[in-house]
């Protein structure tokens, strides 16, 4: 049976600004998204039956229709019924390394890999833009995960504008296994607390979202200045998540106190916290210092770094 193995990288937010309400009920966002080399492996196999099956080595990951990878395969079967009929069902195996429910787009990047894998498996010849358009119907982060790299994301996060790629910026990332933050809760709470500050005019919403193009963070990225990027990190959701989740706040404060840490922030709606550090050696030192300060086995720690790509094929057979 024909199959593809793909690498599905996680993402962090270097910048997340909530601008206002959109007519569709979502928030208008201005974000800078960045791929990192912490990644899952997704194996997509042609099956002999007209079914979709998901397997995963992580007990917290669902293997039914609630899994985004399953829904990605279901979407492809629905959009391309002739190919589905011709090639048969799909077996999807997820080898999980990205923490679950972490604000790192783990589910979205798995879905992105399934879209790319099935496109190859069924010889559909879809363009990256076509895959991103399909991905947007599954979730706001899926289009970014397909292409990866460094991008400005506006709208609800699905409108992408590439930035110069950042490579080899060193990162230490931390996440409590048992701690989850609901993304809908984070955005709804932010709306309740800060909704009065939202821009109301639709034209102004778009103009404000586009203003991040000339922001100081973009200048720092263009200059590939890790220290300056670290000083411009921004995430509006920290305003509601950190007060409600003291463990996340503690991680952030602990990272900020470490020598060699250039900057630190919560990623997305959390609860992952990352720190940008000066070098790979310093990253290992910081990781060990955090482990010593918090010996709790529930705390996962990773040394990772920025990369320039999204979904990558590593093998076909």
Q: Is 100 annotated as contributing to ligand binding?
A: yes
The tens digit of pLDDT for each residue in 186-216 reads: 999 999 999 888 877 767 767 776 767 668 8
Phi-psi domain of 111 (left: phi exceeds 0; alpha: psi -120 through 50; beta: other)? alpha
Q: What is the pLDDT of residue 48?
A: 78
CA-to-CA distance for 310 and 68, rounded, in angstroms? 17
Torsion of CA 172, 178, 182, 187, to 10 degrees: -40
Q: What is the pLDDT of residue 214?
A: 64
Residues lower than pLDDT 50 in the chain: none
Q: Which of 43, 141, 232, 287 is catalytic?
A: 141
Handedness of CA 86, 46, 314, 41 (dihedral sign): positive
Strands (E), 140-185: 150-154, 159-162, 170-176
Q: Is 107 annotated as contributing to ligand binding?
A: yes
Q: What is the pLDDT of residue 21?
A: 86
CB-based contacts of 187: which residues, under 8 Å, 6+ apart? Answer: 18, 27, 237, 269
Tell me which residue has tokens 């019924």: 81
65-77 as b/e: b if 16+ CB within 10 A: eebbbbbbbbbbb
Residue extents of the structural domains in the chain: 1-316
The tens digit of pLDDT for each residue in 136-185 reads: 999 989 999 999 999 999 888 888 999 999 988 999 999 999 999 998 99
**What length is written for the chain?**
317
Q: Is 108 annotated as contributing to ligand binding?
A: yes
- Whether the model clears a pTM of 0.85, i.e. scores above it, the answer is yes
CA-to-CA distance for 273 and 251, rounded, in angstroms? 7
Q: Is 125 annotated as contributing to ligand binding?
A: no
Q: Which CATH architecture has domain 1-316?
A: 2-Layer Sandwich (3.30)
Q: Is 102 annotated as contributing to ligand binding?
A: yes
Does the annotation mark 141 as catalytic?
A: yes
CB 277 within 8 A of CB 171: yes
Q: Which of 11, 175, 232, 287 is catalytic?
A: 11
């Amino acid at each position: 049976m024909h199959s593809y193995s793909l690498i599905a990288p996680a993402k962090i937010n270097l910048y997340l600004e909530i601008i206002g309400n959109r007519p569709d009920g979502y928030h208008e966002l201005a974000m800078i998204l960045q791929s990192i080399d912490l990644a899952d492996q997704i194996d997509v196999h042609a099956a002999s039956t007209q079914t979709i099956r998901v397997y995963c080595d992580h007990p917290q990951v669902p293997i039914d229709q609630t899994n985004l990878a399953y829904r990605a395969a279901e979407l492809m079967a629905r959009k391309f019924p002739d190919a589905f009929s011709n090639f048969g069902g799909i077996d999807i195996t997820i080898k999980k390394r990205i923490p679950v429910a972490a604000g790192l787009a783990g589910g979205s990047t798995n879905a992105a890999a399934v879209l790319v894998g099935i496109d190859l498996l069924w010889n559909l010849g879809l363009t990256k833009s076509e895959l991103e358009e399909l991905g947007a119907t599954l979730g706001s982060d899926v289009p970014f995960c397909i292409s990866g790299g460094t991008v400005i994301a506006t709208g609800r996060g699905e409108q992408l504008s590439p930035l110069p790629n950042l490579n080899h910026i060193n990162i230490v990332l931390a996440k409590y296994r048992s701690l989850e933050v609901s993304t809908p809760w984070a955005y709804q709470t932010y709306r309740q607390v800060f909704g009065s500050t939202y821009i109301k005019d639709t034209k102004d919403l778009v103009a404000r979202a586009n203003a991040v193009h000339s922001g100081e963070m973009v200048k720092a990225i263009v200059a590939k200045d890790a220290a300056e990027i670290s000083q411009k990190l921004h995430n509006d959701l920290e305003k509601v998540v950190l007060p409600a989740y003291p463990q996340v706040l503690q991680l952030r404060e602990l990272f900020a106190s470490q020598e060699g840490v250039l900057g630190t922030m919560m990623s997305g709606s959390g609860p992952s916290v990352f720190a940008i550090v000066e070098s790979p050696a310093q990253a290992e030192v910081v990781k060990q210092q955090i482990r010593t300060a918090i010996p709790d086995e529930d705390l996962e720690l990773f040394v990772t770094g920025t990369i320039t790509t999204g979904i990558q094929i590593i093998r076909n057979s």
